[in-house]
Structure 1
Amino acid sequence: MLKKIKLENILFLDIETVPEFSSYEEMSEVKKSLWETKSAYQRKEDFTAKEFYDRAGIWAEFGKIVCISVGYFTFKGDIRNFRTTTFYGEEAKLLKEFKNLLTSYFNRPQHLLCAHNGKEFDFPYIARRMLINGIELPFKLDLFGKKPWEVPHLDTLELWKFGDYKHFTSLKLMTNVLQIPSPKDDIDGSQVRDVFYEEKNIDRIITYCEKDVVAIAQIFLRLRQEELLDDSEIISV
């Protein structure tokens, strides 16, 4: 079935997120209380709410998106390219720019979004942050009333599970077992917060995010038993 999908109809994507504020102290007292309640299950007795705040970026209610990287295939005769670009800057601005891409170029019924663990993280996170920022959801993210087979989302983690709901495989592990060059050669997700707030180096985060998008596309190719992209086919625009 995967081979029946035209590669040019898929928008591959990845997001990077950080806590909404640079420190726990910046939150209002109400938000601190809500954070303490929300994080209690994860941190248990091992951390205080303040000590655990560095991880707040994984929750859309307490984090924000600092960049969305996307990639898509283009074909011209026998020439195949994979083009990547990134939306970054102030969150409302980057979300509006991403929405514009969806509504202008990936709005047809055949168009699909693809991410690794996207159904659990990337897609709902983007949708929630759009609503928080007062942005109307684009059709591809508005799932209300849709049947499961009508949801226009692909997830490389879900494809790898083969129906096993308990199985989680990281992007790094999948690239390793599928013999794909690993994109994790600089930072990892746990470092994004420090790179953003302490180093203030968004370019480093963008590079990391775009490499993840390439890795997701490579995994998808491998699952289709097709030839991987080589460096000459990957174009950053």
Structure 2
Amino acid sequence: MNFNNILFLDIETVSQEESYHQLDSEWKDLWNHKTRSLTKNPETDTPELLYPRAAIYAEFGKIICVSCGCIQGTGEEKKLVIKSYSGDDEKKLLKDFANMLQGWSGQADKFLCAHNGKEFDYPYLCRRMIVNGVEIPEALKISGRKPWEVRHLDTLELWKFGDFKSYTSLKLLAKVLGVPSPKDDIDGSMVNEVYYVQKDLERIVEYCQKDVITLAQILLRFHCETLVKPANIEIKNLRKADV
């Protein structure tokens, strides 16, 4: 496998509004209907309390960060370069990411890689691009294509080896494989609060970038390749003023 031809990516998402009460009546009705399938205990699982989970559904959530990385070079001295597209303007960050992806994937044999990407990252990106009127890049399109024409790698799928009974998190997989996983003070369940309450987007971007680093190292580990040295990881932040 040519690891230089792989774009590793991860996205962070939040609910469309900070709270359920900020939704208009139509959106409340739609969310109420959605939560019927999510409710386990009607007394505690109210639409209001379940609303933070709206972030995982493209119809009710939005993307606030896309981090991606590319491996450059081979052997002991290979580098991993990380860039992020983030901001409050979802349409702008998606358009900038889509333009980059379209240019990057112009050559043959380019792959995308994400953890649980086939179930979450790839379709979520496509759905939110459609909502925002952003043309989907060729690298994300799957409609009408043969399986071998879709160049989407998924480390969760690779780890399952055909077994679909359980979900293995990126953090757990890194631990199992002995891949250094950055210790962070937040996890995916806290992103909504960090974004809306603490208003700390940069903290979320750093968290997203660390997942991309772990993702790349895991794929290298799958192929018995040496990991990228910490000194060879380069982060190029694309802040809102830069994109």
Q: Same fold per TM (> 0.5)?
A: yes
Aligned equivalent of 2:73, options 63, 75, 88: 75
- What amino acid does structure 2 have at the position aligned with 1:48? T
Aligned to 2:46: 48
Contact between 2:98 and 2:135, CA under 8 Å: does it hold in 1? no
Aligned equivalent of 2:29, options 11, 15, 33: 33
CA offset digits 1:172-221 (Å, max 9, x no partner): 10011001112342210011001000110011001100000000001001
Q: Percent identity?
A: 50
Q: How do 1:116-131 residues align onto structure 2 when only pairs under 5 Å count?
A: 116-131=115-130
Contact between 2:191 and 2:204, CA under 8 Å: does it hold in 1? yes
Aligned to 1:164: 163
Instruction: Give SS of 2:73's match.
Output: strand
Aligned pair 1:6/2:11, yes or no? no
Q: How do 1:106-117 residues align onto structure 2 when only pairs under 5 Å count?
A: 106-117=105-116
Instruction: Give SS of 1:163's match.
Output: coil
Q: CA RMSD in A?
A: 1.3
- What amino acid does structure 2 have at the position aligned with 1:27? L
Aligned equivalent of 1:61, options 30, 35, 59: 59
- What amino acid does structure 1 have at the position aligned with 2:115? H
1:76 CA displacement: 7.6
Q: How do 1:99-110 residues align onto structure 2 when only pairs under 5 Å count?
A: 99-110=98-109
Distance in 1 (CA, whole Å) between partners of 2:189 and 2:14 is 10
TM-score, scaled relative to structure 1: 0.95
- Residues paired across the two proteins, number: 233
Contact between 1:17 and 1:64, CA under 8 Å: does it hold in 2? yes
Distance in 1 (CA, whole Å) between partners of 2:55 and 2:28 is 14
Instruction: Give SS of 1:51's match.
Output: helix
Instruction: Give SS of 1:41's match.
Output: coil
Distance in 2 (CA, whole Å) between partners of 1:37 and 1:219 is 39
Distance in 2 (CA, whole Å) between partners of 1:231 and 1:215 is 11
Aligned pair 1:139/2:138, yes or no? yes
Runs of 4+ that moved beyond 3 A: 76-79
1:233 CA displacement: 1.0
Alignment gaps of 5+ in structure 2:
237-243
Contact between 2:6 and 2:70, CA under 8 Å: does it hold in 1? yes
Contact between 1:69 and 1:209, CA under 8 Å: does it hold in 2? yes
Aligned to 2:241: none
Contact between 1:184 and 1:208, CA under 8 Å: does it hold in 2? no
CA offset digits 1:34-58 (Å, max 9, x no partner): 1111122122324111110011100
- What amino acid does structure 2 have at the position aligned with 1:93? K
Distance in 2 (CA, whole Å) between partners of 1:67 and 1:43 is 29
Aligned to 2:222: 223
Contact between 1:172 and 1:183, CA under 8 Å: does it hold in 2? no
Distance in 2 (CA, whole Å) between partners of 1:77 and 1:184 is 26
Aligned equivalent of 1:24, options 20, 23, 41: 20
